[in-house]
Chains A and B, each alone.
Chain A
Amino acid sequence: MILPPPEPQTRRQLLRGAAARTASAALAAAAAPGAGGVAPASAAVAVPAASATIDRLQRLVRVELLLEYCYRQVLSSTILRPDARRAIAPFEGHVEAHVAALEARLAARGATLPPGPASVSQANRFLARRRVGGRLGHLRGDQDALRLLLSMEQVVIGAHFVALLKLSEPALVELSAQIMATGAQHDAVLRLLLPPHKLGSAAPYGLVQGVQ
């Protein structure tokens, strides 16, 4: 029998598949003879910490997905002037990589992957909930668009700052710090694209904690 070639899968589909396989494997292990379907005492004790970690990772994924959606919407429109578009074009891929890295950590824990915004109106509701100024579809020029992206980057930086208060697993702490630092770099470039277009105004603070 000749099977058709597999359809190309998106990164999210691949990760969701991995998450489902991990969850199935965990269930199978629990139901296996000898396992008795009962988690060992040490695992039971670890549940609250693991649950808090999953919750924190899901929060990070949600906010990163919203940022990714904003970049995609802005970059797929004609609102940006060419130099600004060139400067921030790589950032969408960076954020996508952040989402993938965080989702992989969630998948490894057999946790549910949060969905991103399904529509512009839903994304705008999420933006309003996070008190981000500007609404997708109603941006009046490139400065509006850049300010919205800057505000969202600051929300993401803030989310990672809070995550660093809560997370304790070294690999997750390092990942979150790396993403937070990259977000700060995006922040600096976005500031530079806004008036007064000066280097000094691109990194105006000695300590950056984002918006919480």
Chain B
Amino acid sequence: MVGDGGGASRRALLGAAAVAGLALSGCGATAAPASTRPAPAVAERDLALLLAALELERRTVAAYVAGLPLLPRALRGTVQQFLSEELEHTGELISLVRSVGGRVPARPNSFQLGHPSDAAGVLALVHELESAQIATYLSTIPQLSPGPVRAAVASILTVDAQHVSLIRLQQGQAPVPSAFVTGAE
């Protein structure tokens, strides 16, 4: 997409995200080991909450894929791992949605991701998206039932919180700035 030191246009970034989305189509449902486990039953009223979380996870996956080429080589391995974990989250959410016969919407062809043109811009973007996921999960989890669904979604939240800490470190910020994760960090 973009050579080293080159700037990426917004169109290029969005295009890459779209291509990445196509390339990864279906991976979210199959890549996660969690999807091989029987999923806890989800109340149908919780479907909308889970689908909103899935949309955010897919957006974050697209951002990682699109941003990867803009990152220094030393950071790419880590970010690829984060990407793989985000795919696992999509798999877990898809599994929960399907457990009540919910329909999983097709992955959008592209996402509005802004126009980061360098590593700092990519880190800021994924920081923002991971934080948005945390805030969403914190408001969603108390509304979910039964308990196993709450706990399953919380096990996703914890990993997104870890991602934010490690991204903050890369940005020269304190990794755990507060005693209570809120998604505003």
A residues with a Cβ closer than 8 A to B are 87, 90-91, 93-95, 97-98, 101, 157, 160-162, 164-168, 170-171, 173-174, 177-189, 192, 198-200, 202-209
Residues 106-148 (chain B) with a chain A CB within 8 angstroms: 134, 137-139, 141-143, 145, 147-148
Task: With both chains docked as a complex, state the minimum distance between the C-beta of B117 and any C-beta of chain A, in angstroms.
Answer: 23
8 contacts between A and B (CB under 8 A): A160-B154, A165-B147, A166-B147, A177-B137, A179-B180, A203-B166, A206-B85, A207-B88
Residues 166-185 (chain B) with a chain A CB within 8 angstroms: 166, 169-170, 174-176, 178-182
Residue of B nearest to A207 (CB): B155
* Neighbouring A residues of B165 by C-beta, 8 Å: 185, 188-189
B residues with a Cβ closer than 8 A to A are 32, 34, 75, 77-78, 81-82, 84-85, 88-89, 92, 134, 137-139, 141-143, 145, 147-148, 150-152, 154-166, 169-170, 174-176, 178-182
Assuming the contacts A180-B157, A181-B181, A200-B77, asked whether A174 and B162 have C-beta atoms less than 8 A apart, the reply is: no
The SS class assigned to the B binding surface is helix
Cβ 8 A contact of B154, one of A90, A161, A182: A161
Cβ 8 A contact of A174, one of B138, B145, B156, B158: B138
Structural contact, B85 and A203, CB atoms closer than 8 A: yes
For the complex, give the distance between the alpha carbons of A200 and B163 in Å.
10
Task: With both chains docked as a complex, state the minimum distance between the C-beta of B183 and any C-beta of chain A, in angstroms.
Answer: 9
* Neighbouring A residues of B84 by C-beta, 8 Å: 206
Task: With both chains docked as a complex, state the minimum distance between the C-beta of A155 and any C-beta of chain B, in angstroms.
Answer: 14
Cβ 8 A contact of B150, one of A164, A189, A205: A164
Structural contact, A171 and B82, CB atoms closer than 8 A: no
Assuming the contacts A165-B147, A199-B78, asked whether A178 and B155 have C-beta atoms less than 8 A apart, the reply is: no
Cβ 8 A contact of A161, one of B138, B155, B182: B155
